[in-house]
Amino acid sequence: MIRSAVDIDVALLVNNSNNTYDAGHVTNPTGIGPVDMNPTFDWSTVAPLDRTEIINGSFKVVLRGPAASGFSAQGANAVLQTTFTFTAFE
C-alpha cells in the first residue's frame, strides 16, 4: 500500500475579516512532537486592516490536516500546542 503525502498547515484566522493567512506547513509529520514546521507567512499578502488586527492579537490559530483513520470512532482526544517565534524587521 502506497501512502500519499499528508500535509498539515497552520494558519492565522483574523477575527473581524475571517481572512486566513498561512503561517507554517509540514509534510508527513510523525511521532508525538515537537514537529518543526516550514514558515510560509508572508506579511506582504496581509490586507492593511488585517495587519492591525494581527498586531493586536485579534486572530485565531487554525490547524488544517486530515485526522488518522479511526480517530473519532475511538473517542480519541488531541491536545495541540503551537509556538510562534516572531522576528521584527525595520
How many Å apart are CA 68 and CA 24, to the nearest integer? 20
Per the structure, the complete domain to which residue 52 belongs is given by 7-64
Total domain count for the chain?
A: 1
Query: Mapped to the 3 state alphabet, what secondary structure does 12-80 carry?
Result: EEECCCCCEEEEEEEECCCCCCCCCCEECCCHHHCCHHHHHHHHCCCEEEEEECCCCCCCCCCCCCCCC
In a domain? residue 1:
no
In a domain? residue 45:
yes
In a domain? residue 39:
yes
Task: Read off the pTM.
Answer: 0.76
> What are the φ and ψ backbone dihedral angles of 14, each rounded to 5 degrees?
-75, 130
Percent of the chain with pLDDT over 90: 43
pLDDT of amino acid 1? 45
Percent of the chain with pLDDT over 70: 93
pLDDT of amino acid 90? 63
In a domain? residue 74:
no
pLDDT higher than threshold 50 for residue 7: yes
In a domain? residue 12:
yes
